[in-house]
Structures are given as structure tokens and as C-alpha cells.
Structure 1
Amino acid sequence: MSAPAFLSKIASRTEAASCVAALRHPVVFTNGVFDVLHRGHAVYLAQARELGASLVVALNT
């Protein structure tokens, strides 16, 4: 059985740090559970994006 395709999209700590370093600053970070994405989430993320030049969103499960 082969590995799931999503595994190739997981970045190592070094790769992630390199990607974040390349983003325009300031970088805004947020996280949450968005498994049923709704208007409130979209508004929240849009407001978070307005706080900086780049937005990084982590997904909790």
C-alpha cells in the first residue's frame, strides 16, 4: 500500500521556517477549526489578514 498523497505536502520545520521567512512582514498567525467554514470564519480571517502583510492559518482537528 502506498503512502497517502498528502504526506508529500507536509513541510519539515526547516522548510516551514524558510517559507515563513520568505513571506512579506509582518506575518500574522492564527489557528482554528474551520471544518464547517461559514461567514463568521471568513470575516475573522479577513480581519486577521488586515493586521499584517501575510497571513498564516493553521488548522486544528
Structure 2
Amino acid sequence: MSRRRGIMSEQLKNEVAKELGFYDTVQREGWGGIKSRDAGNMVKRAVQMAEENLQDSNRS
């Protein structure tokens, strides 16, 4: 079975992890080392960013 390609780029994931304060864990342990709560907060923030970008593009 092939692995599904991620929706978020590595750059975006790193940016959000830095913003939320657990990027050091990602550097030490990889993405598998973060808490499920952190992963959920990361997705929540990414959705929020996407919604903000969509609103900005609709205003233009």
C-alpha cells in the first residue's frame, strides 16, 4: 500500500511548530515525537491560517 502524500508542506509544518513552541521536539525526535495535542493544535492553526488567506484573497 502506498503512503499518502501530506497536505501540509514541510515548510508550513515547521513554521507552525515554531509558532506553537514545539519545534525543538520535532528536531530532536521527529514528527512522531510530538504530543497528539500539539498535532491537533498544529492542524487547527493551519486551518486558521488557510481561512485567513482565503478571506484576504476574497477581499482583493
TM over 0.5: no
- Bigger RCO (CA 8 Å, 6+ sep): 1
TM-score (norm 1): 0.30
TM-score (norm 2): 0.30
Q: Which structure has greater helix proportion?
A: 2
